[in-house]
Structure 1
């Protein structure tokens, strides 16, 4: 999953003896494959980039946000639900049936605790019996949305898209939270209809977003009721990063100055980029968030965007495995290795680019011929070979 769930790719390659009709039915074009691969890599980076794939997260306690899985092999539906971290999904549950939970906040890895019976975590076996502050929902049994369907849903014939609620962290089809027709690409954050009912004070912010000062950037995905808001006075708010401004807010609470809505919709609410920055941080409102168990809301670090940025920073600082390998070689070997790598990369790039521009499929025979040509080129130590190889 990603911020928005999509359908899984399916692709088959043909061979030289297939008819054109068979190739059309059983193959995808290279460009489609490249586009799908790029999308999948972006989704994986968004989900996994901010989590540790080698070390169990248990010693870090209740992690602010991390990628989580549920193992239906070890804790099948009907048993107490449990969640495992990314590293444990690799090291302890390889080959098991896992439910992907995307990310969840304030969760401590359950792998190997009492919910798993005699099964022990191989990465960090010294765990307590349980994690009493963990929160579980039907996602841990492979069910999502108000319709409690699996993802992907085997009964659906069309691609499905779902969005995660900021508060309960369940995943929803938009039409099941009263938002049918809303463009899914326009959604930065969503709070489902039930969570909006449980925390009605949020409608006061939602219906008055346009009244708040433009000094706080809300991004491009603003969804406001412009006709009614245009008549309301603008309300200046302070910079929450400035401690003196927070103290100033305590003297005149932002929330209390917002007009009360005459009525509220019975739907979920779509929120614009950086909307959490408008939330009042005075003492009274901070107590309100704690009472409503929403203390995470004013924190900009809680958002998926912040989590993804942490993952990007982590990947940028990661060592290059190729350079690590090269550092152990002599100067001549290093030059030859770099030359060979660059030659293969350029040749393969040319080969794939030609197939994509021709809107052609890549067959097994094409792949064999490509590497056969590369071997011939290497044996002849030629600078170029005919056909789709480097020129």
Structure 2
């Protein structure tokens, strides 16, 4: 992800990049982890490991893109069909906000508990002073609304002296209350803060996620800023998922295997298919005979020879077409 080759920069001065000749001296966006040295997982071993006799599969973390043995993730991985992506222990500690989502979205796993320190820690986010003041303000607004409703009820009582005036006041108050409700409903709500206000379990393990979990992440302004600071903006991009890359690879392979001639034939009706096949066979036969003469004489085929062949071929084709007669029954 976001990786660029180092050929042509200050690391390899004498090697010019054939894709991007003009390059900056240092690719600051590149991150070189142990994978570049053939080492993987927290055990820092190669894969395949000739000294490892335990059969185990490697799982890639979607954040750091390192590969890990299933037995070194702090938890027993679910069946491969039950999850689509994994976040390793180190990245869960780095992206600590994911623990709030894990309680609701992550695939449950069997945790390996080796000591009391490995047991889960229940976290409860304390309300800040600003949040408490905001809640008091909201409660004050609710109290004011109830007071206005009582006033409306009093105004709605029958009166013989100023009935029309009271009705107009009631309409104005109703409109004002409706505007307040609409304004409140338009205020965006942070999904992360809602989850953090509840209790959730945090463990020193990797987490496993289903296919659509990224779409559930909050995209409010504060959360997007946090993603940027943690350099994990890609988490909100559903085209960055493992499944999306696999589907793209499958689609590219199918495109490469596709025969353009067969695609053209399939788009035609029966008569057009027969005509195209006949024209193709005529061209193939005449071109083969024409080039065989050069092979027998040992001469080089030049551009003007090819142009001359196609001019003659088109001329013969027009003569055949002009001799054809069409009859209508």
**TM-score, scaled to structure 1:** 0.44
1:267 aligns with 2:205: yes
Q: Which runs of 5+ in 1 are unaligned?
A: 1-104, 211-221, 226-247, 336-391
Counterpart mapping for 1:175-190 below 5 A: 175-180=71-76, 182-190=78-86
Give secondary structure in 2 for the equivalent of 1:190. strand
1:288 aligns with 2:184: no
Where does residue 388 of structure 1 map in the other structure?
A: none
Question: Which is richer in helix?
Answer: 2
1:127 Cα deviation from its structure 2 partner: 2.8
Pick from 276, 284, 288: which aligns with 2:214? 276
1:170 aligns with 2:66: yes
Instruction: Write out per-residue CA displacement over residues 146-175 of structure 1, whole angstroms, 9 at most, x where no aligned residue.
Output: 011111112123543111111111100122
CA distance in 1, matches of 2:242, 2:186: 27
Instruction: Write out per-residue CA displacement over residues 360-380 of structure 1, whole angstroms, 9 at most, x where no aligned residue.
Output: xxxxxxxxxxxxxxxxxxxxx
1:135 Cα deviation from its structure 2 partner: 1.7
Pick from 90, 100, 119: which aligns with 2:15? 119
CA separation of 1:143 and 1:224: change in aligned 2, threshold 3 A? closer
1:106 aligns with 2:106: no
CA separation of 1:334 and 1:203: change in aligned 2, threshold 3 A? farther
CA separation of 1:132 and 1:183: change in aligned 2, threshold 3 A? same
Where does residue 358 of structure 1 map in the other structure?
A: none
1:224 Cα deviation from its structure 2 partner: 8.0
Are the equivalent residues in 2 in contact too, given 1:163–1:171 (CA < 8 A)?
yes
CA distance in 1, matches of 2:254, 2:282: 29
Where does residue 71 of structure 1 map in the other structure?
A: none
1:223 aligns with 2:108: yes
Are the equivalent residues in 2 in contact too, given 1:178–1:267 (CA < 8 A)?
yes
Pick from 237, 241, 248: which aligns with 1:299? 237
1:189 Cα deviation from its structure 2 partner: 0.3
CA distance in 2, matches of 1:180, 1:284: 34
1:180 Cα deviation from its structure 2 partner: 2.9
CA separation of 1:112 and 1:161: change in aligned 2, threshold 3 A? farther
1:255 aligns with 2:192: yes
Where does residue 152 of structure 1 map in the other structure?
A: 48
CA distance in 2, matches of 1:267, 1:279: 20
Give secondary structure in 1 for the equivalent of 2:24. coil
Give secondary structure in 1 for the equivalent of 2:2. strand
CA distance in 2, matches of 1:125, 1:159: 44
Pick from 195, 199, 219: which aligns with 2:91? 195
Where does residue 140 of structure 1 map in the other structure?
A: 36
Where does residue 331 of structure 1 map in the other structure?
A: 281
Which of the two has higher C-alpha Rg? 2
1:275 Cα deviation from its structure 2 partner: 0.5
**TM-score, scaled to structure 2:** 0.52
1:111 Cα deviation from its structure 2 partner: 2.8
CA distance in 2, matches of 1:223, 1:262: 13
Where does residue 141 of structure 2 map in the other structure?
A: none
